[in-house]
Structure 1
Amino acid sequence: MTTGKIRNIPFVLLLAVSVVFMGCNSGTNADGDTGTMEVLMHDAPADYDEVNVFIESVEVNNSDNEEGWVEVNSPQQSYDLLELTNGATEVLGSAELPAGTYEQIRLILSSDGHSVVIDGQEHDMFVPSGEQTGVKLNVNAEIEPDITYTLLLDFDAARSVVVRGNQQSGEDYLLKPVIKATNQAVTGNIAGVVEPIEANPFVYAIAGEDTLSSTKADTSNGEFKLIGLEEGTYTVSVDPTNESFATENVEDVEVTVGETNELGTITVSEN
């Protein structure tokens, strides 16, 4: 995995998602009570060998201005996003914070040190200058005394890597991060096994017309796990990359908070 060197001024990535209102006041507790925030990262899969992203620090904000930022952690390291599929997560940071509501989170990424590996060849990924102004992520995370609040960041590698140009004129690879945040306490999971292993499928959790989680079945045993799903009913779509096999859909799959729905073995048929 390539870590790269930090040579330029880092930029601040403020991630945009829907606001979830918790029905409490902004700001921290004046009584000195504290709780813990833990930030985990996982990834939606992509058809690359590696997608390496260098993260300098993770911060949260308890106010509506720039004075309220608090550092959760400063990892100063590169992560291969494709190692974080199928239920695997990476702890970006954990910190004890004054109780209260933290409205925003941001990642500080280096301005370089990012790369994508395709067919064994590494390509630098550049961050467009327009992205450096940042897009805010409103999470409204309520930190309660003596309780750990776990925030899941789903870094979508497939949608975050953008190819500019063509093979004739030359290709540049851009990093335009697409990330979704979820409070782990209000989510559940779906797990299962796909047979035959040779199907080598992607697996999707779909609600209506929206794909809300995705992974790729383990190439050694066919196991898969979709995490960070809100309670509800989903269609699990198994989409083989091996064209000899057909797509298989499992409908009406229920997700319950705090539980993993084990689907058992899903067999895909040959075309």
Structure 2
Amino acid sequence: MMKKNAILLLAAALILISGACNEIRNGDGTGRVILKVTDAPFDINSIESALVTITKVELREECDGISDACEFITLSEDTVTLDLIDLRNGVTETLLDMEIPAGRYDMVRLYIYEAGLKLKDSELIHRLKVPGGSQSGIKVFLRPVLEVAEGSLEEILLDIDLSRSFILRGNPAHNNGFIFKPVVRAANMAKAGCIRGVVTDTEGTEISGASVWIEQDTVTATTFTDTRGFYAIIGVPTGIWSVSATREGYDTVRYDGINVIAGNKTVQNFVLTKK
């Protein structure tokens, strides 16, 4: 029988990567799962708020068959609205914290009712429906599979990428509104690390609003530096990555062979040269 500890914790918090070494000796055949949300936004200088309303969250037991024939457990049916613009550079918001049966889980299904985007210097809020997001849900695979042992504490990170989720109709000079097609990745935090650092120019001045992204075969996650030039990408799967940074008016700098180890912070700073 599933035991719920705390369904929803609304306080945003800096996440410290901790693996499956955290144990709670309850001996009742359950483990604890924490689901957190973060974001990788596009051109944050023009955005005042980016709201996403989530109405339901489910977790699927590992299954090789068709998803509709596999068993899902409901983690939450509370309606929660998050402002993703606040969730950057390692800041997360805890969506739920609860006990679930021990086992292997390979998918999160997220039901998003609507999104709202408000630009600076505008009173208009672009309210956008999510095609199929509130009925059939958005399926996000967990790779590697989440293994919940009896008494263990596991964390799942959901990264909603605004840079690819909100699509501008027209162009910035002739804004015809937006389309919202959520791009979400899920990270098993027990098997993930963090890449962080500072972006400066050749004179040592911190660069805010610089774009930083990681990739292997394709771009996996992006973020932007804050006013101190700081960036952090959390929930990075273990392995070898390429990390790049740029900003308008500067060259792009790329580092290959960046090794990410579970539970560790990898520091990679950038010095950008003006064009």
Shorter-chain TM-score: which interval?
A: 0.7 to 0.9
User: What is the match of residue 218 of structure 1?
Assistant: 226
Q: Is the 8 A contact 1:100 1:143 kept in 2?
A: yes
Instruction: Assess, with a 3 A threshold, how the Cα gap between structure 1 residues 137 and 267 changes in structure 2: closer, same or farther.
Output: closer
User: What is the match of residue 102 of structure 1?
Assistant: 105
Identity of aligned residues (%): 27
Give 1:198 deviation, angstroms: 3.9
Q: Is the 8 A contact 2:41 2:161 kept in 1?
A: yes
Matched AA of 1:39: L
User: What is the match of residue 151 of structure 2?
Assistant: 146
User: What is the match of residue 17 of structure 2?
Assistant: none
Q: Distance in 2 between matches of 1:239 and 1:75?
A: 39
User: What is the match of residue 115 of structure 1?
Assistant: 116
Q: Is the 8 A contact 1:37 1:97 kept in 2?
A: yes
Q: Is the 8 A contact 2:168 2:175 kept in 1?
A: no
TM-score for both structures, normalised by structure 1 = 0.75
Give 1:82 deviation, angstroms: 1.9
Q: Cα deviations across residues 129-168 of structure 1 (Å, max 9, x unaligned)?
A: 4554445334353221000121111111121113346799
Q: Is the 8 A contact 2:238 2:259 kept in 1?
A: yes
Instruction: Assess, with a 3 A threshold, how the Cα gap between structure 1 residues 35 and 237 changes in structure 2: closer, same or farther.
Output: same
Instruction: Assess, with a 3 A threshold, how the Cα gap between structure 1 residues 74 and 262 changes in structure 2: closer, same or farther.
Output: same
Give 1:200 deviation, angstroms: 3.1
TM-score for both structures, normalised by structure 2 = 0.74
Map 1:1-12; keep pairs closer than 5 Å. Answer: none
Map 1:176-255; keep pairs closer than 5 Å. Answer: 176-195=181-200, 196-198=205-207, 200-207=209-216, 209-219=217-227, 221-241=228-248, 243=249, 245-255=250-260
1:36 counterpart (20, 32, 35)? 32
Any unmatched runs of 5+ in structure 2? 1-26
Instruction: Assess, with a 3 A threshold, how the Cα gap between structure 1 residues 154 and 165 changes in structure 2: closer, same or farther.
Output: same
Instruction: Assess, with a 3 A threshold, how the Cα gap between structure 1 residues 128 and 188 changes in structure 2: closer, same or farther.
Output: closer
User: What is the match of residue 3 of structure 1?
Assistant: none
SS of 2:182 mapped into structure 1: coil
Map 1:47-86; keep pairs closer than 5 Å. Answer: 47=43, 48-49=46-47, 50-62=49-61, 68-86=71-89
Q: Distance in 2 between matches of 1:155 and 1:182?
A: 11
Give 1:261 deviation, angstroms: 1.1
Q: Is the 8 A contact 2:30 2:149 kept in 1?
A: yes
Instruction: Assess, with a 3 A threshold, how the Cα gap between structure 1 residues 55 and 120 changes in structure 2: closer, same or farther.
Output: farther
Instruction: Assess, with a 3 A threshold, how the Cα gap between structure 1 residues 270 and 90 changes in structure 2: closer, same or farther.
Output: same
Q: Distance in 2 between matches of 1:198 and 1:172?
A: 29
Q: Is the 8 A contact 1:36 1:146 kept in 2?
A: yes
Matched AA of 2:220: L
1:270 is aligned to 2:271: no
Instruction: Assess, with a 3 A threshold, how the Cα gap between structure 1 residues 120 and 78 changes in structure 2: closer, same or farther.
Output: farther
Aligned-residue CA RMSD in angstroms?
Answer: 2.8
